[in-house]
Structure 1
Amino acid sequence: MWMSRLSMVLLIVIFALTLTGSLSELCNPQDKKALLEFKKDLGNPTTLSSWQPNTDCCDPEWYGVLCDTDNKTYRVNQLYVTDLNLSHTYHIPSSISNLSYLNLLYLTTTPNLVGQIPSSIVNLTKLHYLYITRTGLSGHIPRFLSQMKTIVTIDLSYNNLSGTLPPSLSSLPNLQGLAFDCNRIKGSIPVSYGSFSAKFTALTLSRNRLTGEIPATLAKLNLTFMDLSLNKLEGDASVLFGKDKNTQEMNLAKNLLEFDFGNVELPKDLERLDIRNNRIYGTLPAGLTALKYLSRFNVSYNNLCGEIPQGGNLQKFDKSSYAHNECLCGSPLPSCT
């Protein structure tokens, strides 16, 4: 009899301990299931070995997983995954779309992650930040990204994306930054990109295969950062400048741009300007001397002429920043006389 009573007591204790453990777990069961499916679909990489079914996914030990503790919903809202040690090539698992409260998705430095972004990602209706960089991602930039109205930043840099830039991305009402650097994107910059909302402040498309002229509509943009370098863009890029703009960094290097630089009005907060290796002509604008934050400057390998304005930070740059122009002269280059 006492043995049966002891067994009953032990069962009650074990049940109580199990119940206490389940009540103390903060992770939402749906989120944990989605994460474990994601891990399984990627071949259970060792990078994700801390993701265990018998532990709390809101625990800091779960690599790259963050839960919403501020609002005490404890839903998984951020996922940072880098350097996945994948045994074979894998596509981005569609199970990622089951993390319905995800605000930020960051997948990077995993070359064995190939294929296209799954269309199911549009189900992440709370996603603000999408970063998929330095992977083997290929195919066209998905048109369905324009359906993700909550998106603030899209960064798909350093992949193997091809095709053209989707014009429909300009319809995203909350978009602030777009980065497609170091891919194989061809064609022209869509005219519609001049219609990004006033929130839009960063456009970086460097190291692609873009051609054609800079759309005049881009004059409407007030960008803080712009990088269009290492493409084959042509024509007049003066529309990108303006004295009332907030531009801090502009890189137009190594294109086929051709315009009169002397007529350009420069943003007062400009810190870095690189227009080397183009066909830009005219004189250096006198407004350069008023740029008190200018810390990086290169106009080499163009068709510029005339005396380098004296003053400001212009003489702090060495002669390589001015070299290989038609007839530039004055410090730090040889005198004009």
Structure 2
Amino acid sequence: MNSSATMSGLSIVLVMVLLCSSAVSELCNTKDKQALLQIKKDLGNPTTLSSWVSTTDCCNGTWQGVLCDTDTQTYRVNNLDLSNLNLPKPYRIPASIGNLPYLNFLTIRTNPNLVGAIPAAITKLNQLRYLYITHTNVSGAIPEFLSQIKTLVTLDFSYNDHSGTLPTSISSLANLVGITFDGNRISGAIPDSYGSFSNLFTSMTISRNRLTGKIPATFANLNLSFVDLSRNKLEGDASVLFGSDKNTQKIRLAKNSLAFDLGKVGLSKNLNGLDLRNNRIYGMLPKGLTTLKFLHSLNVSYNNLCGEIPQGGNLQRFDVSSYDHNKCLCGSPLPACT
């Protein structure tokens, strides 16, 4: 064999070695890469995802919004962020997202051209813990099939175009600690089942919707750190949200038609924010408000409260706007009682 043929043979071997070396060094799972490239295609190949290139490793940190599991060294895609994609025209959430079975985190934020319903394929993500779909035009009811994803810890569907009623079955999710459904067009009553969330359930915010009816009596069983049901059309008794044995930090119920005796509620010692303005709440302000060390925001204006504002604590630090437009509330910072 002449030297030219030898060199040619060596070149071929060298190329093959380099190709094999490149294939071995790639950490990204082949199926995960295929799923990601399909997602990109289904979204119209947005320029924001231009770093998703088939010839590169999706686990090397260069793919926008993609993270892989390096702790267990399985290198499966476990975190996907599809925020701010600047989609040129309306697209739906791709069903191909369901082909990333190791996802723990899925974030889809600030995509006004994302429309349509949440796809049922999302139930294939049986390791999903945190699901954030916010500030989009995703529509339809928040689906009942979410209860099939038993690993869910947090659901955030705020500021979309969701309508219909609240999904009743999500209360069966034993690991769920928070739901955020603010800023949609959700209507109907709050399901009684929402009072059966586990004691680990820490936050419920469903403000700026079209909820009607009463707050379920079953809410007495909840120990919420933060509850925001403001700007709905709720009525009746909200005292079930209060309690001296609870760890509640913030309660926001403003701009509803709630009516109950505020003077008879128990107060969490950790309460630091209370917004009850624009309701039909009556009675006197609880004297227990003066003992709250962390209370830094309070608004009970535009209600039917009466009596003297208790003296002490932080109550006189709030200005007139926190108390005015009540039936017969008086005392500092309002005019003196007569």
- Normalised-by-shorter TM-score class: over 0.9
Q: Distance in 1 between matches of 2:187 and 2:63?
A: 40
* TM score, norm. by length of structure 1: 0.99
* TM score, norm. by length of structure 2: 0.98
Determine if the alignment matches structure 1 residue 325 to structure 2 residue 314. no
After TM superposition, list the pairs within 5 Å mapping 1:1-337 onto structure 2.
Answer: 1-337=2-338
Q: Distance in 2 between matches of 1:22 and 1:297?
A: 61
Shift of 1:24: 1.2
Shift of 1:71: 1.1
User: Deviation per CA, 1:229-279, whole angstroms, max 9, x where unpaired?
Assistant: 000000000011000111111100000000000001111101111000000
Amino acid across the alignment from 1:261: L
Q: Distance in 2 between matches of 1:287 and 1:265?
A: 8
Query: Which aligned segments of 4 or more residues in structure 1 are displaced greater than 2 angstroms?
Result: none
Q: Distance in 1 between matches of 2:324 and 2:4?
A: 95
Q: Distance in 1 between matches of 2:8 and 2:315?
A: 86
Shift of 1:2: 2.1
User: Deviation per CA, 1:121-172, whole angstroms, max 9, x where unpaired?
Assistant: 1110100111101111001111101111111111111000110011111111
Shift of 1:10: 0.8
Q: Distance in 2 between matches of 1:128 and 1:325?
A: 45
Unaligned runs of 5+ in 2: none
Q: Distance in 1 between matches of 2:296 and 2:54?
A: 52
Q: Distance in 2 between matches of 1:312 and 1:79?
A: 47
Q: Distance in 1 between matches of 2:166 and 2:205?
A: 12
User: Deviation per CA, 1:179-226, whole angstroms, max 9, x where unpaired?
Assistant: 111100000000111111122111110000000011101110000110
Q: Distance in 1 between matches of 2:86 and 2:202?
A: 35
Shift of 1:101: 0.2
Task: Between 194-203 and 125-134, report the one with greater CA deviation.
Answer: 194-203
Q: Pairwise CA RMSD of aligned residues?
A: 0.8
Amino acid across the alignment from 1:329: C
Amino acid across the alignment from 2:281: I
Amino acid across the alignment from 1:34: A
Q: Distance in 2 between matches of 1:39 and 1:167?
A: 33
Q: Distance in 1 between matches of 2:33 and 2:168?
A: 37
Q: Distance in 2 between matches of 1:293 and 1:21?
A: 58
Q: Distance in 2 between matches of 1:248 and 1:61?
A: 41
User: Deviation per CA, 1:96-126, whole angstroms, max 9, x where unpaired?
Assistant: 0000100010000001110011101111010
Secondary structure class of the residue paired with 1:82: coil
Q: Distance in 2 between matches of 1:55 and 1:296?
A: 52
Q: Distance in 2 between matches of 1:85 and 1:77?
A: 23
Amino acid across the alignment from 2:101: S
Task: Between 181-190 and 139-148, report the one with greater CA deviation.
Answer: 139-148
Secondary structure class of the residue paired with 2:82: strand
Secondary structure class of the residue paired with 1:262: helix
